[in-house]
Amino acid sequence: MTRQIELEGPELTPIAAACLEEWQRAYGAGCLDEYDRRYGVTAELLVSEREGHASEQLAFHELRETGDIARQQIAAQTS
């Protein structure tokens, strides 16, 4: 898993839109807390391995579009 988008509730409110490559850069730069606050905490387990969570397979362009929208909404909530 290289990208993670988590949507919550019936309105599918985005609560996380993280990217493994960005997370690794933030970790290496010592600013992981800031990254997690901005994009959400990445899951240690795949969604399919977590109880009560349903995953959905998306084509690359769908994932990128959904992720971009989720990041915009998260940024609007935190600013």
List the domain boundaries for the chain: 3-78
What pLDDT sits at residue 45? 56
CA distances from 44 to 30, 54, 62, 68 (A): 19, 16, 23, 22
Q: Mean pLDDT of all residues in the chain?
A: 82
- In the chain, what percentage of residues exceed pLDDT 70? 80
CA distances from 70 to 28, 30, 51, 76 (A): 25, 25, 23, 10
pLDDT tens digit string along 1-35? 688 888 888 888 888 898 888 989 999 999 999 99
What pLDDT sits at residue 75? 85
- In the chain, what percentage of residues exceed pLDDT 90? 20
